[in-house]
Structure 1
C-alpha cells in the first residue's frame, strides 16, 4: 500500500509547472514550495509535469532542479522524479557500473517481481543502449553472477497458487544440496530460487522449517556467503514478506554511527508508491518506533522534509 498523499483536487500540470517556475525565480529557490508539489504527485503526474514544464519554458525540469538544489535533497528529489522502472534502471546502472555497490544492485534485482524485471530490462536497454544482462555479466562474478542472470531472465508465475508436493520435494533437494553434504551444490540453489514463484518459495521455506528445524534463511547463512548469500536471502525474504525485509534494510541504514543516506532514500523512494505503508507497520512492530520518528532523528532540513512527505502521516 502506497503512502503517497495526492491532493483530492489536483492542480493541472500547467499550474504545477507555473508554480515551480515561480519557486525557481529570483534569489535562491523556494525549496519548500518545490517539495510541496513534487512529493505529492504520482509517477504519471510527475511525467506530465515534466512534459508541460519543457513545453512552457523550453527547459528540462530535471536539469533545472539539479541546478537549484544540492546535496542529499538534490539526489533524493531527482531519483523521485523518474517513473519506477526508469528509476530502477538508473539505480542499477549506477550501482553496477559506476559505484560498484553490488549490495544495492542485488537488492533491487532480487526484490522485484517477474513482470517488473521484464519491463525494467526493456527500459534499461532503451535508456543505455546495452542490455542489463550484459552489465551484470561484466560487473559481477561467480555464483552471484549466475543467480542474478537467472533471476532477471527466467519467467516466473506471480499468482498465489502453490504445488505443495513440489515444495516439499524442493525442500529436500535444497537440504541435500546444502546442509546434508560437505560443500554446497550452488547450481541447485540457483535453479530453484530463480525458477520458483514467490508463493512457491514461501511454501518451500515452510516445509524446510518443518522438516529440518530451522528456516531456509539460516541454511543459506550457513552454506553460502557474500553477494551470493545476499541474493538468496533477499529472494526468500521478499517471497515471504517484502515489507518486513525492507523494514530491516531501513533499520540497517539508520543503525549505529552515521546514516547510509543512499540506502535510506533508495528504499523510501522506490517503495513509496508500492508498499511503504506496510513497511511502516513492520518497522513499528519490530523496532517499537515509527519509521517517521526514526527518519526524523537521522535526517535534517529540506531533505528530512522531503522524505517525511513521502512517508505520510506518523503512525
Structure 2
C-alpha cells in the first residue's frame, strides 16, 4: 500500500508546470512550492509535468531542478522524478560507476525486486545508458556475489503462489548438504536455488529446512557465507518472506547510531513510497516501537526532511 497523497481533484500537468516555473523565477528558488507539488504527484503525473514543462519552456525539468536544488534534497527529488524501472536503472548505474561503487546498493536493488521488475529495469538500463547491466556487474562485482547477481538478472523466475512441497524438501536437503553438513560450502547450489526459485517456493524451503534440520536457513547462510554474497542471499530470502519487514530493517539501520546513511534512507523511501510504504511503516512501528515518521524527523532537517515526510504521508 502506497503512502503518496495526491490532491483529491487532479491538477492539470500544465498548471503544475507553470507553478514550478514561477517557483524557479527570480532570486532563489521557492523550494517549499516545488516540494508541495512534486511530493504529491504520482509517477504518471510527474511524467506529464516533465513533458509539459519541456513543451512550454523548451527546458528540461530535471536539469532545472538540479540547478535549483542542492545536497540531499536534490538527490531525493531527482530520483523521485523517475518511474520505478527508470529509477532503479539510475540507482544501479550510479552504484556501478567506478568512482562511486556501492555494491550494497546494487545488491539491495537487484535482490529485493521481483523477477518481472528486474527484467524490465534491465531493458531500461540498456536503452538509457547504452550499456548492458550484466557487463557493468561483471566489471565491478566479483566471485560468488557476481554469480548470484548475474543469475538473478539472467534467469526469469516464476512468480505465482503454487509450491511443490516435495521439491521444496529436496531443495532444503540440497542446501543442507551444500552448507552445514559439508566442510566448506558448495556456493553453486545456493546460487542456483536462490536465483531460480519463486518467492513462495523459497518460503516453503525455509519451512522445510527448519522442520528437517531444526535450524534456521538464515543462520545457515550467515555461518556458511560472508560479505556481499551473504547479503544477497539474505536479501532474497527476507524479501520472499516479508518485503516490508526487510525494508523497515534497512531504514532502521540507515538511521541507527551516529550519523545517518542518507543514501540508503533516500533509496528506500523514494523507491517504496508508491508500492508498500504503508506496510513498511507498520512493520517499523511494530519492531522498533517508534513511528518511521518520527525517526525520519529526528534524523533529517529543513526542506530535505519536509520532502521525505511528505512522501511518508501522515503519521500513524
Q: TM-score range by the shorter chain?
A: over 0.9
Query: How is 1:183-262 mapped onto 2 (pairs within 5 angstroms)?
Result: 183-262=184-263
CA–CA distance in structure 2, aligned partners of residues 94 and 160 of structure 1: 34
TM-score where L is the length of structure 1 = 0.99
CA–CA distance in structure 2, aligned partners of residues 103 and 116 of structure 1: 19
CA–CA distance in structure 2, aligned partners of residues 199 and 231 of structure 1: 18
Number of the residue aligned with 2:41: 41
Does 2:125 align with 1:157?
no
Does 2:17 align with 1:22?
no
Number of the residue aligned with 1:286: 287
CA–CA distance in structure 1, aligned partners of residues 97 and 220 of structure 2: 31
CA–CA distance in structure 2, aligned partners of residues 215 and 14 of structure 1: 55
CA–CA distance in structure 2, aligned partners of residues 92 and 269 of structure 1: 15
CA–CA distance in structure 2, aligned partners of residues 209 and 274 of structure 1: 31
CA–CA distance in structure 1, aligned partners of residues 282 and 205 of structure 2: 26
Number of the residue aligned with 2:60: 60
Residue 159 of structure 1: SS of its match in structure 2? Answer: coil
Number of the residue aligned with 2:13: 13
CA–CA distance in structure 1, aligned partners of residues 281 and 207 of structure 2: 25
Query: How is 1:97-136 mapped onto 2 (pairs within 5 angstroms)?
Result: 97-98=97-98, 99-136=100-137
Does 2:274 align with 1:273?
yes
CA–CA distance in structure 2, aligned partners of residues 19 and 108 of structure 1: 34
Moved over 6 A (4+): none
**Long gaps (5+) in structure 1:** none
What is the Cα deviation at residue 214 of structure 1? 2.3
Query: How is 1:85-100 mapped onto 2 (pairs within 5 angstroms)?
Result: 85-98=85-98, 99-100=100-101
CA–CA distance in structure 1, aligned partners of residues 282 and 257 of structure 2: 22
Residue 96 of structure 2: SS of its match in structure 1? Answer: helix
CA–CA distance in structure 2, aligned partners of residues 155 and 129 of structure 1: 22
CA–CA distance in structure 2, aligned partners of residues 215 and 128 of structure 1: 41
CA–CA distance in structure 2, aligned partners of residues 192 and 24 of structure 1: 52
Q: Deviations over 1:160-193 (max 9, x none)?
A: 1111111111101100000000000000000000
Q: Deviations over 1:240-275 (max 9, x none)?
A: 000000000000000000000010000000011111
CA–CA distance in structure 2, aligned partners of residues 283 and 212 of structure 1: 31
Residue 314 of structure 1: SS of its match in structure 2? Answer: coil
Q: Deviations over 1:99-131 (max 9, x none)?
A: 111011000000000110111010000011111
What is the Cα deviation at residue 27 of structure 1? 1.4
CA–CA distance in structure 1, aligned partners of residues 94 and 135 of structure 2: 14
CA–CA distance in structure 1, aligned partners of residues 174 and 91 of structure 2: 35
TM-score where L is the length of structure 2 = 0.99
What is the Cα deviation at residue 97 of structure 1? 2.1
